[in-house]
Structure 1
Amino acid sequence: MSRIYLAQAREEGDTVALEDAAFRHVARVLRMRVGDRLTVFNGQGSEFAARITQMERHAAHVQLEARREANTESPLHSSLLQAVGKGERMDWALQKATELGISAIQPVLTARCNVKLDAERWAKKQAHWQGVLIAACEQSGRLRIPELRPVAKLDDILDACTATLRLVLAPQSGRAPIEAVSTVDSVALLVGPEGGLNDEEIRRAEASGFQSWQIGPRTLRTETAPMVALALLQQRFGDYGPPSDSGSATVRQRN
């Protein structure tokens, strides 16, 4: 059944107008009609069965029916500090991080970032990335859209990071001792751009409490590295892999 994001979805029985992007997808891509059923979620934890009750040339309305219970959000609060990459590389990283259960995404400008935009184009880029996150939530069944923070310079975010476990991906640096960690409240993962973080940036991250982490023997692209690292973190501390009684780590869930 088709699944769409609808921020105004709140209570069973409400009739709600589709937002522009959702309308275009439902009417022009899926070619749905009055009476067709779909699933809607509001990005804040609620999901509903719904039915199209009105379809016009430029607008459509759906009626919310039964609220659905789902358990698709990871117990691990994770933040991705992703250096801004060009074009589809950044889209891919954000999409896959969302599918893997990321809680928050911080786009970061570093010394080797090759993306330079003015304020207006950054705003458009931010809106585009938000669309990527929404589409990934629609596809993956997530109930909450990750928080997308404004683009910031690396030095402005390092000391502000308060995650219990802070990791910076750094090839040739050795493995971070995540296997020795039994309880975490939150995880932050810093990933460099094409070409990686330079030595000084890695040193500054380590001075701010980040541990350098080499996740394997091969160098991964900027869009591949967070996908692999987040999967390992979800297996160790989140909702992937064996059940907790078989030896996986404990996570203190945030209220």
Structure 2
Amino acid sequence: MPRFYCPTSLRCGDLLDLPASAARHVQVLRLQPGDSITLFNGGPGWDERDSEHTQGGEFEASVTRMGRSDVQVKVGAYHAVEREAAHRVHLAVGMPANERMDWLVEKATELGVASIQPLMTERSVLRLNPERAGKKQAHWQSVAVAACEQCGGNRVPVIHAVMTLAAWIKAQPAQASDQRLLLSLRPGAQSVRAAVKAFADPASAGAHTEAITFLSGPEGGLSPAEEDIALACGFAPVTLGARVLRAETAALAALAALLL
């Protein structure tokens, strides 16, 4: 059944005009009055908004009218189903170049990431001025919405505004309430597998960690100075092993281990 993100209050029995993006999607699929769809409204920043508008789960709905540029639906039964990971994993990543960031956002959303912080670092190939950065953020947010609609997630990850690594690190609280991991090739870095095992072990100090912040570099990785700053901020170095992976592959491989 087609799924659509609808960032508004949803109540059983309501007649509702779909947002423009969802309406266009319905029209592209050539749906007709009487066809069934699924709606969800747990979108970016959902945990900071009015809980009446963001109850999570999803709703059955049926198309009641197809206009030339608008679509009306009737909201049906509510299902309190959630498909989120046990831990909230927040990805901070040095932006890879070209379309690879789009691909990373899409696949990270499918895996269940809670948020993505795009970063400009010393070795970043992609450099964005403020205007272009704002447009990219909006584009990546739409990529995350589409990925959620496809994969069955009911919580759209927040795509934060682009920041420099230095500014982002400076904004991190001194007392960490999350587990902080840094993808690194430094000697002595523990494996991601060992870190995941520590989260799962009831006897481990990290067993009750609800959130993980995972920092990964761009092409070429973070510079030694940037890694030093992250380590001083409480990040623990982890590694995926001896293979050299592309920036977006490495981030996704680590996310898969942490989330699945």
For the aligned pair, the TM-score class normalised by the smaller chain equals 0.7 to 0.9
Q: What residue ranges of structure 2 are gaps of 5+ in the alignment?
A: 43-53
Equivalent residue of 2:180, what SS?
A: strand
Identity %: 40
Shift of 1:9: 4.3
- Structure 2 letter corresponding to 1:32: L
The correspondence for 1:107, drawn from 88, 108, 118, is 118
- Give the Cα separation in 2 of the matches to 1:127 and 1:9: 22
Matches within 5 A, 1:1-150: 1-28=1-28, 30-43=29-42, 44=54, 45-150=56-161
- Give every structure 1 segment of 4 or more consecutive aligned residues whose post-TM-superposition deviation is greater than 3 Å: none
Counterparts in 2 of 1:24 and 1:180: CA distance versus 1, 3 Å: closer
- Cα deviation for residue 87 of structure 1 reads 2.8
The answer for the alignment partner of 1:209 in structure 2 is: 234
RMSD: 1.6
1:180 Cα offset (Å):
3.9
Give me the TM-score of the superposition, normalised by structure 1.
Answer: 0.86
Mapped partners of 2:18, 2:98: distance in 1: 29
For structure 1, list consecutive stretches of 5 or more residues without a partner in the other structure: 235-239, 241-255
Aligned to 1:253: none
- Residue 168 of structure 2 corresponds to residue 157 of structure 1: yes
Determine the structure 1 residue equivalent to 2:183. 169
2:256 equivalent among 208, 231, 248: 231
The answer for the alignment partner of 1:243 in structure 2 is none
Per-residue CA deviations over 1:138-159 (Å, capped at 9, x if unaligned) read 1111111112211111112224
1-structure distance, mates of 2:154, 2:221:
33
Give 2:48's aligned residue.
Answer: none
Q: What count of residue pairs does the alignment treat as equivalent?
A: 234
The residue type equivalent to 2:249 in the other structure is T
For residues 232 and 152 of structure 2, what CA distance do their matches in structure 1 show? 38
- Normalised by the size of structure 2, how large is the TM-score? 0.85
Contact 1:9–1:42 under 8 Å retained in 2: yes
Contact residue 133 and residue 161 of structure 2 kept, 8 A: no
Q: Name the amino acid aligned to 1:19.
A: P
Q: Is contact 1:12-1:65 (8 Å) kept?
A: yes
